Amino acid sequence: MPTLSLIIGALVYDFRSTGPDPGATALPESARGLFWLVMALSVFYLALVAIAVLAQPFLPQLSPLELMQRSNLWLGPLQGLAVGVLAAFFRKG
């Protein structure tokens, strides 16, 4: 939810402050590197979430809740990093 709130807030702020601009380019040149960094971090994060969920049948010694609690040790910081870069992207773009 915080990531979705960040995206919606940035889009609403941009629309209110500048209004729709029919002549605007799709993505400023200065924000393209951040875009690809955000894309890579997001795909990596989603892959780790999928691995954490799909690995449970192969780890019978852990309950699903224990596995998700353990995976939170690396998913939490990675999500924070991805949201930080996403915030920089919306700030720059």
Would you give per-residue pLDDT tens digits along the chain (93 residues)?
566 776 677 667 666 666 555 655 566 776 778 888 888 988 999 999 999 889 888 988 988 889 888 998 999 888 888 888 888 877 765
In the DSSP assignment, the letter for residue 25 is -
Distance CA 44, CA 79 (A): 10
Reduced to 3 states, what is the DSSP secondary structure of residue 43?
helix
- The pLDDT value given to residue 48: 92
Taking the domains of the chain in order of start, what are their residue ranges? 30-93
pTM of the model: 0.70
CA dist., res. 89 & res. 7, Å (int):
10
Cβ-proximal residues to 48 (8 Å cutoff; 6+ apart), any chain: 71, 74, 75, 78
